[in-house]
Chain A
Amino acid sequence: MKAPPFTYHRPTTGEELAALLGSLENAKVLAGGQSLMPMLNLRLAFPDHLIDINRVEGLAGIKVEGEDVVVGAMTRQADVLASSVVAERLPVLAEALRHVGHIQTRSRGTYGGSCCHLDPSSEQPAMAALYDARFHVVGAAGRRTVEAADWSVGMLQSALADDEYLEAIRFTPWRDGADGRCGYGFAEYARRHGDYAIVGCAALVRVDQAGAIGRAAVVLFGVEPSPTRLPALEAASLGQAAAGFNPASHLGEVDALDVMEDIHVNAVYRRRLARVMIGRAFADALARATGAKA
């Protein structure tokens, strides 16, 4: 079908954008458009105003600031995937992006757009949750920073107020050092390549020179309406020998998750799949941290 009529706005500066957001009723922000355009074409969204932020200066690009990597909200998925900074410091982001849509959608789709849309099966907000990233938000009242844990407030709902926009996402990479070597793991199951994930999991671990797990982070996506960190598993792994650690023995919290169901996938299957994906992602993270896998 065709998109419903709307009034089109094309701001070029953050000030113009904030002014529009602060004054227009029933407005939607158009970033890469790879979720919003289908919603418009399918008449699932009826905004009175469409604010196209593709020409707002300063929203795209990947910057290194001290230890951090700051991904501009309008950075295209294709550019994150091709970034040498990301490949070196946040390799799991690139691995995850290979599962996001297709070449043509990654040309347009943006990292920040996906984080604001917050599809439950999206890899990108899950990466933010995995790294405890910080979301830099701008609004009429000024700037604020939202922690990843506070970013999702419900199904498809970010912490952005109606008059705010996302400027950038700040990641602090896990670096190898005196306290150990880091590794990542990523596992996702979808019915076809590029489809929405039924369940995905990403894990980060640091293993010290004695072979013990010193730090761990695990996130599930596609399971609950928002990315789900697994704090009990993370805590249980600390101090354990990487060689003998079996995450399957520490998955009690997975039984307590509010697992989504749909016509294709019931909660029993999805929960079972989550356990499998956790096992694979954690094993790969440990293998990379111990040098058993490149």
Chain B
Amino acid sequence: MQQPLVITATINGRPVERAADPRMHLADFLRHEVGLTGTHVGCEHGVCGSCTVIVDGRPVRSCLMLAVQVDGAAVETVEGLTGASGSLSRLQRAFSEHHALQCGFCTPGMLMTLEALLRTVLNPTETDVRDAISGNICRCTGYQGIVEAALTAAKDRQGEPA
């Protein structure tokens, strides 16, 4: 078996250097090596969406990417959404306001998927939002609150400076 390989990446804006077995997927790397346990591991075969993170600006399944593949990349996780003081982002507050979570297991993946959507689509429709989260499974909310939260956050973002 191959020795661990050193991975140098930017995670939530901070440089990180850690070693990992080549077979370790990104979600396990984030949780066990970097200590960022906000990223949740659900199905580990790319169906549930709970492990969604943003790599180089794009939402990806972190269970379907090897940790060694983010060497040199910029990774964003749910921990990166909050401000330095721990304040919630507009999208996170909207989740709270619209009861967009119950047990919370899917929430980090939902947030990162929608964060990526709201960055690229300025004025998303309900269809855009539902299409975006079609790869994220939630067994509590029935999705309605999540959709409302995303649309509220999108609306508010338009008034904010980029």
Contact = CB atoms under 8 A, between A and B. Distances in A.
B88 interface: no
A104 B25 contact: no
B103 interface: no
A42 B45 contact: yes
A7 interface: yes
Given A2-B23, A105-B135, A8 B66 contact: yes
A3 B44 CA distance: 10
Contacts of A7: 1-2, 22
Interface string A37-55: 1101110000000101010
A104 B25 CA distance: 16
A58 interface: no
A78 B56 CA distance: 14
B58 A78 contact: yes
B45 A52 contact: no
B113 A103 contact: yes
A76 B64 CA distance: 15
Q: Give the interface size class of chain B.
A: 20 to 34
A37 B2 contact: no
B63 interface: yes
Interface string A83-125: 0000000000000000001111101100000000000000000
Contacts of B64: 33-34, 37-38, 41, 105, 108
Interface string B59-81: 11101111011000000000000
B115 to A, nearest CB: 12
Contacts of A103: 59, 113, 116-117, 131-132, 135
A103 B113 CA distance: 8
A43 B28 CA distance: 17
B34 interface: no
B134 interface: yes
A8 B61 CA distance: 20
B104 interface: no
B contact patch SS: mixed
Contact of B52 (A6, A38, A104): A104
A104 B23 contact: no
Given A5-B2, A8-B66, A50 B22 contact: yes
Contacts of A6: 2, 22-23
Contact of B59 (A2, A104, A193): A104
B5 A105 contact: no
Contacts of B5: 8
A101 B113 CA distance: 14
Nearest to A49: B2
Nearest to B1: A5
Contacts of A42: 45
A1 interface: yes
A104 B21 CA distance: 24
Contacts of B131: 103, 193
Contacts of A193: 131, 134
Task: Determine which residue in B25, B28, B55 has the highest number of CB atoms from chain A within 10 A of its CB, and name it.
Answer: B25
B154 to A, nearest CB: 16
Nearest to A192: B134
B49 interface: yes
Interface in B1-34: 1-2, 5, 21-25, 28
Interface string A189-210: 0000110000000000000000
Contact of B2 (A4, A8, A34, A78): A8
22 contacts: A5-B1, A7-B1, A7-B22, A8-B5, A8-B23, A10-B68, A33-B64, A33-B65, A33-B66, A34-B64, A37-B25, A37-B46, A37-B63, A40-B23, A41-B63, A102-B49, A102-B134, A104-B61, A105-B61, A105-B64, A107-B58, A108-B58
Interface of B: 1-2, 5, 21-25, 28, 44-46, 49, 52, 55, 58-61, 63-66, 68-69, 113, 116-117, 131-132, 134-136
Given A37-B45, A102-B136, A108-B64, 12 more contacts: A1-B44, A8-B2, A33-B64, A37-B64, A41-B45, A41-B64, A52-B66, A103-B59, A103-B132, A105-B61, A107-B55, A108-B65
